[in-house]
Structure 1
């Protein structure tokens, strides 16, 4: 492990503890000598990290300290690259472009050794399946962010079409389909809408009366209850 990675790990460990933790406990968790631990603490303090305490009393990291955004472990770099590459191949063109742009911005400011690791990662994403979605998923994402109602026509598995007005609060990305999770005014219940069955999507300026975080929490609770009752939740 490089010294920079070790310093990053030390900050992360200190973040997990709200009360002072002894140097010996920190050294044992990191697998280093107590002398190395003291040197690393002094280095971080010298770089501006608000670590309070001293040998024999323990150390604590004051709240609010922001880590330098360019320090990543090998696995963190792999996760960033893999996630960005996957999103870049999704049919949501604006989100795909944003993923590619974000990865380029990260690469542009990384230290040389980390940039090489990012470019050389061997975790690849296979070709995406062809999508037949005719709607702009960016409209759905914006409605979720702004907590606005959406109107559209929806075709069920049998081909029947109905007009819907919904309160969207989540968008799920599966390998072959995207699914909007929403409260449906017609059904007065949570419903899952496959994006490839939606047509005539219309954004509105009407704010729905509940917060999306509250609906997400309630929806998850209904899924858990359905599982406990032995029922299978299906895409609608």
Structure 2
């Protein structure tokens, strides 16, 4: 129960308003069905989520989550760390939440490889109705397998 409370509180403090509201709503629903003694434990939980450095949200992460759920391609302008910009079409299949950044994990059509895109470097995000040709779970499995390989052999 403590893990659910802590995780929900953390998500509720994130700038993604829809995800934040969903976490708060889920916690309220859980509290509503708990026996009195467990509800008191939930209300009295001493596990707190403190303020963190605010992540810069330059795009609507709700659109990214929707594209992942529906297995739809996204298009955007991406600025690399050095400032160079490129147009990308990607097949997003995961969204990473780090302390200061959010990362879209996707298959990149331009690079023909898995790539990680910092959300704060994405501009002109465009959702499409085009379904990507592979299943999200297959992409996730293949991407996880690449994490075990040395960098030069990918």
Q: Give the TM-score normalised by the residue count of structure 2.
A: 0.96
Supply the distance in 2 between the matched residues of 1:128 and 1:97 (Cα, whole angstroms).
Answer: 18
Once the two structures are TM-superposed, the CA of residue 132 in structure 1 deviates from its matched residue by 2.1
Detail structure 1 runs of 4+ shifted over 4 Å in the superposition. none
Supply the distance in 2 between the matched residues of 1:128 and 1:138 (Cα, whole angstroms).
Answer: 21
- Of 24, 45, 49, which aligns to 1:121? 45
Structure ranking higher on relative contact order (CA contacts 8 Å, 6+ apart): 2
The number of residues matched between the two structures is 154
Q: Which runs of 5+ in 2 are unaligned?
A: none
Residue deviations 1:15-51 (CA, integer Å, cap 9, x gap): xxxxxxxxxxxxxxxxxxxxxxxxxxxxxxxxxxxxx
Alignment partner, residue 142 of structure 1: 66
Supply the distance in 1 between the matched residues of 2:116 and 2:96 (Cα, whole angstroms).
Answer: 9
Supply the distance in 2 between the matched residues of 1:192 and 1:225 (Cα, whole angstroms).
Answer: 16
Alignment partner, residue 176 of structure 1: 100
Once the two structures are TM-superposed, the CA of residue 151 in structure 1 deviates from its matched residue by 0.3
Cα-Cα RMSD: 1.5
Pairs within 5 Å for 1:22-61: none
Which has the higher mean CA deviation after the structures are superposed, 211-220 or 126-135?
126-135
- Return the structure number with greater strand share: 2
Once the two structures are TM-superposed, the CA of residue 110 in structure 1 deviates from its matched residue by 1.1
Q: Which runs of 5+ in 1 are unaligned?
A: 1-76
Larger radius of gyration: 1
Alignment partner, residue 9 of structure 2: 85
Alignment partner, residue 121 of structure 2: 197
Report the 3-state secondary structure (helix = DSSP H, G, I; strand = E; otherwise coil) of the residue aligned with 2:18: helix
Report the 3-state secondary structure (helix = DSSP H, G, I; strand = E; otherwise coil) of the residue aligned with 2:55: coil
Alignment partner, residue 67 of structure 1: none
Supply the distance in 2 between the matched residues of 1:162 and 1:127 (Cα, whole angstroms).
Answer: 34
Report the 3-state secondary structure (helix = DSSP H, G, I; strand = E; otherwise coil) of the residue aligned with 1:225: coil
Supply the distance in 2 between the matched residues of 1:81 and 1:128 (Cα, whole angstroms).
Answer: 18
Report the 3-state secondary structure (helix = DSSP H, G, I; strand = E; otherwise coil) of the residue aligned with 2:89: strand
> Is this contact kept in 2: 1:90–1:128, CA < 8 A?
no
Matched, 1:154 2:78: yes
Alignment partner, residue 32 of structure 2: 108
